[in-house]
Amino acid sequence: MRTRSPECDSAAYRQAQRLKPTVRFITCGSVDDGKSTLIGRRLYDRKAIFDDQLARLERDSRQYGTQGERLGVALLVDGLQAEREQGITIDVAYRFFATDRRRYIVADTPGHEQYTRNMATGASTADLAIILIDARKGVLTQTRRHSRIVAMMGIRHVVLAVNKMDAVGFDAAVFDAIVTEYRAFAAGLGFASVQPIPLSALEGDNVLHRSPRTPWYAGPSLMDDLDAVEVADAPKRHSFRLPVQWVNRPNPDFRGFCGRIAEGSVRPGDAVRVLPSGVPTRVKAVWAGFDTVEVAHAGDSVTITLTDKVDVSRGDVLAAADDPPTWRISSRRGCCDCRSARWCQDGSI
């Protein structure tokens, strides 16, 4: 009787993993809402870390942890020394995991308003967003700001993760009030779905499995929802959108802007607008690798050069000049429709 070799089993496993659909999502929201803890909890509970990583986590928890004797699972994601010392996320951290149905690429993005640009970069390739809210604080300015950026990037599916429910005694009234306020705010952002979930990322409630501490909640756990949501049906605009991920400056004569086209197509000579500044310019050339191309489409990773020397940085967006992203701006001056996509000077967009 023949038996399968370990090499055959390994090859079959790799092939099965390749055939799974891949979903990219981000975690975002205000600072200290528990984004890194949520991803760390998911990795830890599903044993998606190696023994040496666990040993380092135990060691780092003693040095940098803020949870007493508990493991600081957020440290699985916050890898920069400054992040560990300050207890905040600064740059985007990417992690990978898989379930029986899908493979996932998650971008843990910073919540501090100083690093909003990095959050926009993380959102630029995502299919879905998990927007976290601290149950003790409710909907904050940064929650609204990140939600608008998510909408601008074309993300249409949102998980509203009301975190730290353990800190409010798993009070259903607190959860319902936050969900009501957020739905009223997000009604005009064009999301195809908003799934609210009460969570305790620190304790693991409703992360992988339904929690007995929320008997009043009848919805899915976070992972059940991620495995079920159909992100492929998100409507796509046809106008050009390119979130800038890197400024390529190999020599004084070349300045290109690299990224993955989120929507539409682009050709040399096209009129574009730099967002959020709103400055107009034109495309000089489109590069795919080391060669120029006549046209590039959504999903292509390209480098674009411009005819004018305008200020473009990582986190900015290049968009069709005649159809830039639009959203409503809320500020102390009231609400207005903003077609130039400028950031509010008072800290809200």
- Cβ-based neighbours of 161, under 8 Å, separated by 6 or more: 29, 38, 130, 131, 132, 133, 197, 199, 201, 222
Is residue 3 situated within a structural domain?
no
Residues 191, 61 share a domain = yes
**pTM score > 0.75 for this model?**
no
Instruction: List all residues 6 or more positions away from 7 whose beta carbon is below 8 Å from its beta carbon.
Output: none
The residue from 233, 250, 267 where one domain ends is: 233
State how many domains the chain has. Answer: 2
Mean pLDDT for the chain overall: 77
Shared domain for 191 and 273, answered yes or no, is no
Same domain? For 56 and 106 the reply is yes
| Reported confidence tier of residue 315, pLDDT bands at 50, 70, 90 | confident
Q: Identify whether residues 137 and 29 lie together within a single domain.
A: yes
Structure tokens at 34: 């528990």
Contact call for residues 32 and 202 (beta carbons, < 8 A): no
Q: Is the confidence at residue 36, as pLDDT, over 50? A: yes
Residue 291 sits in the same domain as residue 148: no
Residues 116 and 260 in one domain: no
Mean pLDDT, residues 207-233: 89
Same domain, 105 and 223: yes
Task: Say whether the peptide bond before residue 6 is cis (omega within 30 degrees of 0).
Answer: no
**Average pLDDT in the 319-342 region?**
54
SS3 string, 149-218, reads: HHHHCCCCEEEEEEECHHHHCCCHHHHHHHHHHHHHHHCCCCCCEEEEEECECCCCECCCCCCCCCCCCC
Considering the domain architecture, whether residues 279 and 297 belong to the same structural domain is answered as yes
Using the CB atoms, write b or e for 29-54: b if 16+ within 10 Å.
bbbbbbbbbbbbbbbbeeeebeeeee
Q: Please choose, from the candidates 143, 146, 141, the residue with its C-alpha nearest in 3D space to the C-alpha of residue 133.
A: 143
> Does 289 lie in the same domain as 211?
no
Same domain, yes or no: 76 and 182:
yes
pLDDT of 220? 94
Residue 111's domain spans which residues? 20-233
